[in-house]
Chain A
Amino acid sequence: MTKLIIEKELRDIIGSTKFAVTFSICSVLILLSFYIGAQNYRVAQAQYEASKSANVRQYEGLTDWMRVHSFKIFLPPQPIATLVSGVSNDIGRTIEVRGRGELRSQDSRYGDDPIFAMFRFLDLDFIFSIVLSLFAILFGYDAINGEKERGTLRLTFSNAVPRAEYITGKFVGSFLALTIPLLIPILIGTLFLPLFGISLSANEWSALALIVAAGLISIGVYLSLSLFVSAKTERSSTSFLLLLSIWILTVMIIPRLSVVGADLFVKVPNMDEINSQKSRFMSQIWNEDRTKLNGFTTTNKNDVQALMNEFNKYMQNLADEREKKYNEFAMRLNEDRYNRQMEQQQLALFFSGISPSALFSLASSEVAGTSLKLEQEYLAQSKEYQKEYAKFMKEKTGMNMGGFAMVFRKITDDNAEKPTTININEIPQFTFKPIEASGGIGPYAGYAGVLAAFNLLFFAGAFAAFKKYDVR
């Protein structure tokens, strides 16, 4: 019986105008998102390579490692991020690494092209959370009351049709009908990816599969919710209006309000405030150290090289001390800000958890490696790299460069032996290890689990409401 109802539902929907419209829109949007994503990836990849080359080129011809004050590292574009961009366009891709000191990312994609920040990119996240959730409502808003209005419910239930099987068939049939306009273009899009110049790793393929799975669960939520509302209301116009309001609330309002709400409960000091405190502290300890310069004495007054080395050593010690104090202070501030930020984030995520669209965005960005963790991961890997870089530079210069320091250097005159140029390629290379899908599987499972629970809850609601539904 359920199979028969599923078949009928599929046939009824597939033959309808709304299916034709949904299929057309989904096909165009999904294929366009793959194409635009591929184009963006190629542009970002070219930019990444160009930035790396330009970074190396600026040191060409240098003869002294002491003149290498910093080295830029870049966040490489990830193919899967073009399909679910998450925060990848919001965070800075470039970090200027010094031997010591804090690291800050800059040059975000949205910073470079603010117009994209205004309207965002077309990606699978947008298609699932906004377009398909709306289509799910369009497929389900009149599932029960529409049948009653059309008069087919009476004839159906004049037969020995168990209500449980009917509502299950309705849900499964509508769900399958909704997956067709989704899976076909996704399949075509993935087949075209190599043609667009993108090759996904096994890890990225599994991430894509998990993203599609989460998307299907999330549209299932909107579908079961539609069934529930349709079984609770007499008229399809009422259920449509109600569901549209719920859609606006869950897709447009709740995700935004959750951040505002979290900000009301947990205040996070802004970066300007933090930087200003750090800057004041740095000036203070720098001024203290300047007075300590008077304490420098030497026994090598006639040997310039020895004097220079001794002074540099003295300065290095001061710088080390200063850095230690500064780092302790900065760490305290950063830690406090980080803790508050995490608290605020958790609260915002908790609030947004009542929005299926937000849950999908969070789940998909977790496995795509474009979640909020991306920036933390990039900074963490940069810090690791900073240690490697500092060690290398110390080997080359004898000092750990970075921050404020006064250094005596010997400049050779024209008669001296011509120095050899340094090989900048000796600097350790930064290789970003993307967050693997398996790394985000825990949070993904959590978000997908909540979505599945919503499915069950709304379906149970629809079932209970339909049990008492007057089919006349």
Chain B
Amino acid sequence: MNNQPLLEAVNLSKRYEDGALAVNNVSFFVKPGEIFAMLGGNGAGKTTTINIFLNFIEPTSGEARINGISSHVEPLKAKQHVAFVSENVMLYTNFTAIQNLDYFVRLGGKTQYTKDDYRKVLLRVGLQEEAHNKKLKGFSKGMRQKCGIAVAILKDAPAILLDEPTSGLDPKSGFEFIQLLDSLRNEGKAILMSTHDIFRAKEIADTIGIMRQGNLVMQKSREELSGENLEQLYMNFMAGVYE
């Protein structure tokens, strides 16, 4: 497995027009087969960081790289190597789950799949077969989230960005999701996940970063964190105890 970072933030900063500093000189990387969990409260800069990776916003300075490609210099090229699942996956409600998959997967550049492939992946993410050909109008958030993950899996990009992916999921779905992430990691995907969920982060992540007011105030590997009380650590960072 190539051990070069697939996702990399290099001195990344973003200051909005109103002067607010959303991300301040943040640097980290995620290698293949790794999960990086970004913890932090609301407004900490987690989503802004992901948005920079997706070129939804441009950095004020620094660079976000996907597979070595700068996301704001060559956004189209960079996005070919990344899949994205948002906090609240929104798909076309007039389409069935399979139709949505077909559209977004082809949009992601993959045209080789059959309906059977779509069914298999939907079953893998835990969406019941009877829902596959139903329009998304009546889908719950969890069901839509599963469709979104299926899209990310089928895109088969080496890197995956997840913005609060377990938010609002019931415990069973949350557990299934973590298992899925584990299997994706085992396939060699580099995963950057923003979350509020300390316990799931601790359970799955190889590296945990804590963001506060745009700064990456802590970045520790699973090994470095072993024996530490992550919840206490997080609360202390949030309270600015170490400043």
Contacts and interface: CB of A to CB of B under 8 A. Distances in A.
A160 B79 CA distance: 5
Contacts of B92: 8, 12, 152
Interface string A1-33: 100110010011001100000000000000000
Contacts, number: 70
A157 B95 contact: no
A157 B84 CA distance: 10
Interface in A123-176: 150-152, 154-162
Q: How large is the interface on B (under 10, 10 to 19, 20 to 34, 35 or more residues)?
A: 20 to 34
A200 interface: no
B80 A155 contact: no
Given A12-B92, A12-B94, A470-B56, A159 B79 contact: yes
B87 to A, nearest CB: 10
B80 A160 contact: yes
Contact of B95 (A4, A12, A150, A158): A12
B23 interface: no
B88 interface: yes
Interface stretch (B100-108, B188-196, B197-205, B221-229): B100-108
Contact of A162 (B57, B76, B86): B76
Contact of A155 (B84, B93, B94): B84
Contacts of A470: 56-57
Contact of B94 (A15, A151, A159, A471): A15
A152 B104 CA distance: 10
Nearest to A149: B90
A472 interface: yes
Given A154-B86, A158-B83, A472 B107 contact: no
A157 B54 contact: yes
Contacts of B11: none
B77 interface: yes
B91 interface: yes
Contacts of B106: 4
A160 B56 CA distance: 12
Q: How large is the interface on A (under 10, 10 to 19, 20 to 34, 35 or more residues)?
A: 20 to 34
B103 A8 contact: yes
A160 B77 CA distance: 7
A110 B225 CA distance: 89
B109 A471 contact: no
B148 interface: yes
A472 B90 CA distance: 12
Nearest to B96: A15
Nearest to A161: B107
A162 B151 CA distance: 19
Contact of A156 (B57, B93, B107): B107
B90 A158 contact: no
B94 A158 contact: no
Interface in B94-125: 94-95, 99, 103-104, 106-109
A172 B84 CA distance: 27
Q: Which of B57, B80, B82, B104 has its CB near the most chain A CB atoms (within 10 A)?
A: B104
Contacts of B56: 154, 157, 470-472
A154 B79 CA distance: 13
Given A4-B107, A12-B92, A161-B107, A155 B54 contact: no
Given A4-B106, A160-B76, A155 B95 contact: no
Q: Which of B89, B94, B161 has its CB near the most chain A CB atoms (within 10 A)?
A: B94
B60 interface: no
Contact of B104 (A16, A155, A160, A472): A155
Given A15-B94, A160-B80, A155 B57 contact: no
A164 to B, nearest CB: 11
Contacts of A8: 92, 103
Contact of B90 (A12, A16, A150): A150
Nearest to B91: A152
B51 interface: yes
A155 B95 CA distance: 15
Interface string B169-210: 000000000000000000000000000000000000000000
A158 B88 contact: no
A150 B108 CA distance: 20
A230 B91 CA distance: 20
Nearest to B78: A160
Contact of B148 (A11, A155, A156, A471): A155
B86 A151 contact: yes
Contacts of B79: 158-160
B94 A160 contact: no
Given A151-B88, A155-B84, A472-B57, A16 B76 contact: no
Given A154-B56, A470-B56, A472-B57, A159 B107 contact: yes
Return the 8 tightest CB-CB contacts between A and B, nearest first. Answer: A151-B90, A158-B84, A15-B94, A160-B79, A160-B76, A159-B108, A159-B107, A160-B80
Interface of B: 51, 54, 56-57, 75-77, 79-80, 82-84, 86, 88-95, 99, 103-104, 106-109, 148, 151, 155, 161
8 contacts: A11-B94, A15-B94, A154-B84, A155-B89, A155-B151, A156-B107, A157-B54, A158-B54
Given A4-B107, A150-B90, A152-B92, 4 more contacts: A151-B90, A160-B76, A470-B56, A472-B56
